[in-house]
Structure 1
Amino acid sequence: MRRLSSVQQKVPCLFLTEVKAEQSRKRLCQPFQVIATEHVNPLALACGVESALATEKLDGTCCYVTRYEGQPYLWARLDRKPTKLADKRFKKYQLSHNGCKGVDSHGLVEEDFRAVPEAWIPAHGVRHQEGQPVPDDHAHIPGWVPVQTDNKQYCWHSSTVDYGAGVALVLRPRGQSPDLLELTLVPLGDLLEQTLELIGTNVNGNPYGMGTKKEPLHALVSHGSVRVRGPPPALDLQGLSSWFQESSEGRVEGIVWHCDDGTLVKIHRHHLGLAWPEGNCSFSSRPVEVHMDWTADQDYRLPSKDLFASLSRLDGRRFSRLQDVCFDT
């Protein structure tokens, strides 16, 4: 079975891109738009994207499972970014050079970057110079910070894990069924060195309609675990644009291709000038079963999380759509 890659760095676009001086459809405060051209990225072709595994790009926030103080731990994405003034200076430079990449030529230095928590670590693949991580072409240093239960900033991340029991709440395809999903507990140790997407009620405007304000619902989805439904679309600009707009399977934020050599390549609706979210999302329309009967060794104790307790009362229940999962009895 093909081993899926983790998302540690910015994922390149399937097509070569250009920068236009117009309001971004993805980021409200960004005065430029990154648009795909008709030319397929040579990197994608060299990595065999034609035979790559096409998976759904989910709209949430990136997480990572690795060890912290000796035990498997959930980490939140925290990129080290320039200060407001330095970022403004960099974006002005980028726009004036039509998206030309190359932070070093713009002269950003250590003092131009925001401070990060002591436990912060740089992501895999970050270049180092004289022992220090080097920013990427976007002037960011991708990295991670451990999700600690007393940090309110990451309360929705924290709601999906129980460190005492060593488990995480995962949403994943169930068995061989192409469409059926399951909400279940997975040992954190089984997720080591994987990246996952946190989705749910209070993440990115909740495009999947999960939970409610009174009963929020969040879950982790392993990157690459959700395949694109139906035949993968053709790898040309017009074909992809038509697929996103006309196919029921195309009601997704984007596609991430997992190439055989480990390279990841993506396309986002915004690259094609298309809106997101758009109507009833494909992912939220999938049926879901709840399975909270996780079996562990003799040291296992029942997770104390309110979310886990609520879901345990739904054990064995099946809902016709992800957005229909509710805790009302």
Structure 2
Amino acid sequence: MRRLGSVQSKVPCVFVTEVKDEPSVKREHQPFKVLATETINYKALDADIYNAIPTEKVDGTCCYVTNYKGQPYLWARLDRKPNKQAEKRFKRFLYSKENSKENSKEFIWNVEEDFKSIPEYWIPAKDIEQLNGNPVPDENGHIPGWVPVEKNNKQYCWHSSVVNYEFELALVLNRHADDPGLLEISAVPLSDLLEQTLELIGTNINGNPYGLGSKKHPIHFLVPHGAFQIKNQPTLKHEDLLSWFEGCREGKIEGIVWHCNDGCLIKVHRHHLGLRWPIPETYMNSQPVVINMNRTKFDCAFDSKCLFNHFSKLDNQKFSRLKDIKLDVGI
């Protein structure tokens, strides 16, 4: 159900969108906003959106699990971006194209010279178009990709907190296998997540829209893409989706991602419908959650300060919502 090694930020909206000359409800300093029309995007129709599986769009930062140094590793999202000179040329090109309807030329990138340096082990996302062996930049001039999360890299300290490379485990939030009304936090072998993309959520990610942990006691999890399937989805009509997001308990989410049979992903975000995000009470925080660290299965001696150790102390405990989980000791 997941696109392996791909990223969700470039996923098309289920509706055709148009730009309004009004302040964005998503980005504070953006003087315009992108709103969905009532016309379904042809890309969604081509992907057979009516037979796709709708899932909750989780608000975090995208991650990927694949092998590195001979073992499963967590990789963080890192886009390769143009240097200052190339960015100026690209902006001039976009301006001239916008003001000349007859200009149908495409911008020519020199990937080796036009882009900033990247870490040695950076890899492009798998759905990136290739030309002459080089990844092709997207419409924004970026090349989405991944970089391995090293244990002592401070830049990715929150990513590091949800993985344990010694025991090859990840801290994962998912739907409970036997109870669809229950969430579960568990230690999952990284090998079980190979070639999957996930969302890192928590205290220090995207303003913490789910209210997890605190500054003194931060909490983070990985959520597999497609984990939270929507059971009672609205029809694919603009007004029905708007009503669902505004008035339905299950609609208290950031958005919907449809997983199509051909592997294509289609999305709609609350801000496409003129609705705000984050919101005070989310659907994710209205559900009970149980902690299942499988201590007898893994029998791991975790470092006393790591998240895995703290959650091991809460093993088998049930909470009415994620916000109620508190850690005794800072990470």
TM more than 0.5: yes
Within a 5 Å distance, the mapping from 1:233-312 to structure 2 comes to 233-294=234-295, 301-304=300-303, 306-312=306-312
Q: CA deviation at 1:275?
A: 0.7
One-letter identity of the residue aligned with 2:3: S
Deviations 1:238-283 (A, max 9, x none): 1111111111211100000011121111001111121101220111
Q: Tell me: CA distance 1:282–1:276, structure 2 relative to 1, closer, same or farther (3 Å).
A: same
Report deviation, 1:5.
Answer: 3.1
Matched, 1:8 2:9: no
Which amino acid in the other structure matches residue 40 of structure 1? I
Alignment check: 8 A CA contact 1:147 1:154 kept: yes
Deviation sequence 1:13-66 (CA, Å, 0-9, x none): 101122334433323444432221211011211221112111000000000000
In structure 1, how many angstroms separate the alpha carbons of the residues matched to 2:287 and 2:267?
A: 23
List alignment gaps of at least 5 residues for structure 2. Answer: none
Conserved? CA contact 2:63–2:198, under 8 Å: yes
Specify which of 152, 167, 186 is matched with residue 165 of structure 1: 167
How far off its partner does 1:114 sit?
Answer: 2.4
Relative to structure 1, the CA distance from residue 103 to residue 314 in structure 2 (aligned partners, 3 Å threshold; closer, same or farther) is farther
Q: For 2:255 and 2:283, how far apart are their aligned partners in 1?
A: 11
Identity of aligned residues (%): 54
Letter in 2 for 1:192: L
Does 1:125 find its partner at 2:127?
yes
> Quick one: distance in 1 between partners of 2:247 and 2:89?
40
TM-score, length of structure 1 as denominator length: 0.90
Q: Which residue of 1 aligns with 2:117?
A: 115
* Residue 54 (structure 2) aligns with: 54
Q: Partners of 2:225 and 2:181 in 1: how far apart?
A: 16
3-state SS of paired residue (1:189): helix
Alignment gaps of 5+ in structure 1: none
Give 2:152's aligned residue. Answer: 150
User: What is the Cα deviation at residue 174 of structure 1?
Assistant: 0.6
Question: CA contact under 8 A between 2:172 and 2:186: conserved in structure 1?
Answer: yes
Q: Distance in 2 between matches of 1:198 and 1:71?
A: 20
Q: 1:36 to 1:274 in 2, by over 3 A?
A: same
CA distance in 2, matches of 1:250, 1:295: 38
Distance verdict in 2 for CA 1:224–1:285, change over 3 Å: same
Deviations 1:138-182 (A, max 9, x none): 221110000001110100000000000000000011123222111
Q: Indicate if the aligned counterparts of 1:185 and 1:294 stay in contact, CA closer than 8 A.
A: no
Q: Partners in 2 of 1:62 and 1:287 — Cα distance?
A: 25
Does the 8 A contact of 1:147 with 1:158 survive in 2? Answer: yes
Q: Judge conservation of contact 1:103–1:138 (CA < 8 Å) in 2.
A: no
Q: TM-score, normalised by structure 2?
A: 0.89
Equivalent residue, structure 1, for 2:38? 38
Superposed CA deviations along residues 190-223 of structure 1, whole A, max 9, x for unmatched, are 0000000000000000000111111100000000
Relative to structure 1, is the Cα distance of residues 257 and 94 closer, same or farther in structure 2, using a 3 angstrom cutoff?
farther
Q: CA shift at 1:232, angstroms?
A: 0.6
The CA distance in 2 between the partners of 1:20 and 1:107, in whole Å, is 29
Distance across 2 between alignment mates of 1:165 and 1:254 = 34
Cα distance change on mapping 1:211 and 1:88 into 2, 3 Å: farther
- Aligned residue for 1:76? 76
Measured in 2, the distance between the counterparts of 1:106 and 1:288 equals 50
For residue 105 of structure 1, give the secondary structure of its aligned residue in structure 2: coil
Structure 1 pair 4–134 and aligned structure 2 pair: CA distance change class (3 A): closer
Moved more, 279-288 or 304-313: 304-313
C-alpha distance in 1 between matches for 2:92 and 2:157: 35
> Aligned equivalents of 2:92 and 2:321: distance in 1?
45
Distance in structure 2 (CA, Å) of the matches to 1:272 and 1:86: 35
Residue 226 (structure 1) shift: 0.8
What letter matches 2:45 in structure 1?
L
Task: Give SS of 1:238's match.
Answer: helix
Say whether the 8 Å CA contact 2:4–2:126 is kept in structure 1. Answer: no
Task: List, as ranges, runs of 4+ consecutive aligned residues in structure 1 with deviation greater than 4 Å.
Answer: 84-96, 294-297
Distance in 2, Cα, partners of 1:88 & 1:33 = 24
Q: Counterparts of 1:118 and 1:128 in 2: how far apart (Å)?
A: 19
User: Do the aligned partners of 2:5 and 2:126 also contact (CA within 8 Å) in 1?
Assistant: no
CA contact (8 A) 1:6 1:223 kept: no
